Amino acid sequence: MPVEAIVKVLFMFAVMVIGLAPIITWVERKQSAVMQDRIGANRADLAGITLIGLLHPAADVIKLITKEDVVPAGANRVMHMLSPVIAAVPALIAFAVIPFGGVYQFGDTTLNLVGADIDWGLLYIFAIGSIATYGTVIAGWSSNNNWSMLGGLRASAQMISYEVTMGLTVVGIFMVFQTLRLSDMALAQDSSFRLLGFLAPYLGNDGGVIGWLIEHVRIPGWGLVYQPLGFLMFLTAIMAENKRPPFDIPEGESEIIAGYFLEYSGMRFGLFYTAEFLEVPVIGTIVTSLFLGGWSIPWISTADVIGAVSGVFGHGFATGLCIVLHVLSFLLKVVLMIWLQMALRWTLPRFRYDQVMDLCWKMILPLSIANVFVTGLVILLMAPR
Amino acid sequence: MTDVLFYLFAGLAVAGALGMLLNVRNTVAGALSLVATMVSLGAIYVLLDAYLIGVLQILVYAGAILVVFLFVVMLLNLREDVFSPERLRGTKRIGAVIGALVCVELILLVPRALGPAAEIPADFGSYRALGTALFTDWVLAFELTSLLLLAAMVGAVILAKRSID
Amino acid sequence: MVEKAVALSALLFVLGALGALTRRNLIVILMSIELMLNAVNLALVSFSRQWGDLAGHVFVLMVIVVAAAEVAVGLGIVISLFRNRESVNVEDVSLLKW
């Protein structure tokens, strides 16, 4: 068994599941409280020490584990038990292909900070996203309850619609970076390009201020810069796919009680809850890898760091420092995306179901096809002759 | 290791198929068993170096087609299959025996027809190779399937409408 | 491994055929047909791997597309049938049988 792969998987698991998911529960309560000008949950304490509510995730877990496990009469027991598992597993295994660092050379060993560097990484994410539909559908159906059934049916229609849109909006990024391998995509975003580069051929000799400006005004080569519309559409589509508010009709908290997980209590609900809050970093990491440059530091490429530090401290130390900086940069971007999703959640009112469907089929789908056309045109026109 | 994985997924596929066939009362459970079959077949495709086909199997078959099946079953609220009296029992048993004979015959005869395995290029079954093939050698088939999908979409919408006015 | 995959494909095809011929629930018949199509896909992929020819993969793509189209239209028919007859049992729609 390859030790390296196990260590990488454990690292991802530790950071995301044990580190981030409870923090996100806390962030949701605290950020919403701050945004709504109230205090939020801060009563959970350990011998009188409340850490501004940071102990609430632990309190949640204890509560959920010790609650009574109620299976409604007339429900199919096997499916009732199986659906939280089917909902939670895709959220967990999505982290396998996300690069949280680049490829580093230590003498003759190569360290690739991805769980599984598969050639079709992005397709893998879409495939397991489509499996996640089953958790919702089966949860709704197996509870023998009209409201759950309604939530389950709405959820399945919403999820399969937005899967299609998710796929189409990324075609633009695929065309720009020419690869489906997420680590290659992050690597391609590791450089910056000159904003005024189109002026360069018109400058006779590298003259003074203008030449310096052309050379040094640079934009990081992120997916966001190449595909701004794609970024917006993909963010919308993936939030709708994972039923994040404002697209949370299936679990419409105030409409159909709790929708498809109405009849779940105790740790079964806890697993749905975990899946829900794991999807937030999943969205964050995917959007980061595709559009926000992955693990790269804006304006400072890997070669810059290694070149600058290795002269003083040696190549090994420079690479180690690079690893730390890159992983920190990745985590910072993921945290930014989590903040963004939370802010969107507590700002926008919930969409109506027909508005959600309209948005998918009548607005995002035609726009994404137009995006593909325009991207193709631009690539064709700017190709080196 | 590959062999162990293959046997695991093959067993899961057959179990899923049997689960669908033998599950007379609960159609939803049968559909879910078929999902297990589809996913394990996708894994077997990946073991056979057919990467794009494997991931498309999971994306399209397990993730879309069977969801539509489940959707229809739940929409029509088919909870229990009503038992009508069993008829043609003898014929069904003879059919099962003939099916087993056909299966055994195929298993025994086909390996003789396979020659030695050919050398495959490194990117066999990747999306690049398949994409190139689809857009150069097989572009006519590709265009015709797009027409087929259009016809199917229009047909499905018309069939499911409540009234045409 | 190709021989074993072809054997699995034969087994799945026979199971699918048995399901399509003996079950009376229309949706289960459609699912058995899907199983048969999958068995054929597996055979195509294994042969394509055996001889290194990508035509097998292209054919599998076409089969997947056709299966998707067939499911869409077939389930549309099932829904219309259910609206008219309140049943998806094939024995209830055997008016044209002699």
The answer to whether the beta carbons of residues A359 and A351 sit under 8 Å apart is yes
Decide if pLDDT at B41 tops 60: yes
Per the DSSP assignment, residues forming a β-bridge with A106 are: A109
Decide if pLDDT at A121 tops 60: yes
**pLDDT average, residue stretch A221-250:** 89
**pLDDT average, residue stretch B129-143:** 92
Inside any domain, residue B86: no
Contact: A134, B67; criterion CB under 8 Å: yes
Nearest to C73 among B20, B141, B152 (CB): B152
Looking at this predicted complex, what is its ipTM? 0.90
The count of structural domains within chain B is 2
Contact: B62, A131; criterion CB under 8 Å: yes
Q: Which of B20, B54, B79 is the last residue of a domain?
A: B79
Contact: C35, B73; criterion CB under 8 Å: no
φ/ψ (deg, to 5) at A49: -100, 110
pLDDT, one tens digit per residue, over A263-291 is 777 888 888 888 888 899 999 999 999 99
Give the N- to C-terminal CA distance of chain A in Å, as an integer.
49
CA distance C57 to chain B (A): 7
Q: Please give the Cα distance from B35 to A19 (Å, whole number).
A: 33
Q: Please give the Cα distance from B5 to B44 (Å, whole number).
A: 8
Inside any domain, residue B85: no
Q: Which of B26, B57, B79 is the last residue of a domain?
A: B79
Take residue C22 and report the two structure tokens written for it: 């003996």
- pTM of the shown model: 0.90
CATH of the domain at B17: 1.20.120.1200
CA A98 to chain centre: 10
pLDDT, one tens digit per residue, over C12-68 is 999 999 888 888 888 999 999 999 999 999 999 999 998 888 899 999 999 999 999
Contact: A134, B28; criterion CB under 8 Å: no
Nearest to B27 among C28, C42, C71 (CB): C28
**pLDDT average, residue stretch A339-350:** 89
CA distance B118 to chain C (A): 5
Decide if pLDDT at A258 tops 80: no
User: For the ranges A63-77, A157-171, A364-378, C33-47, which has the lowest average pLDDT?
Assistant: A63-77
Residue spans of alpha helices (H) in B2-161: 2-22, 27-47, 51-56, 66-75, 89-113, 127-136, 139-160
Contact: A120, B126; criterion CB under 8 Å: yes
pLDDT given at position C14: 92
Decide if pLDDT at B127 tops 60: yes
CA distance B10 to chain A (A): 20
Chain A partners within 8 Å of B26 (Cβ):
76
Q: Please give the Cα distance from B34 to B26 (Å, whole number).
A: 13
Contact: B159, C82; criterion CB under 8 Å: no
User: For the ranges A185-194, A258-267, A287-296, B62-71, which has the lowest average pLDDT?
Assistant: A258-267
Domain identity same for B5 and B74: yes
pLDDT given at position A313: 75
| CATH T-level fold of C2-90 | Helix Hairpins (1.10.287)
- Listed by start position, the domains of chain C span 2-90
Domain identity same for B2 and B54: yes
Chain C partners within 8 Å of B26 (Cβ):
none
pLDDT, one tens digit per residue, over A289-308 is 999 988 888 888 777 777 77
Domain identity same for B129 and B67: no
The answer to whether the beta carbons of residues A257 and A233 sit under 8 Å apart is no
Q: Which domain holds residue B162?
A: 123-165
Decide if pLDDT at A18 tops 60: yes
In the DSSP assignment, the letter for residue C93 is G
Residue spans of alpha helices (H) in A170-248: 171-177, 182-188, 208-216, 223-226, 228-241
Chain C partners within 8 Å of B69 (Cβ):
27, 30-31, 71, 75
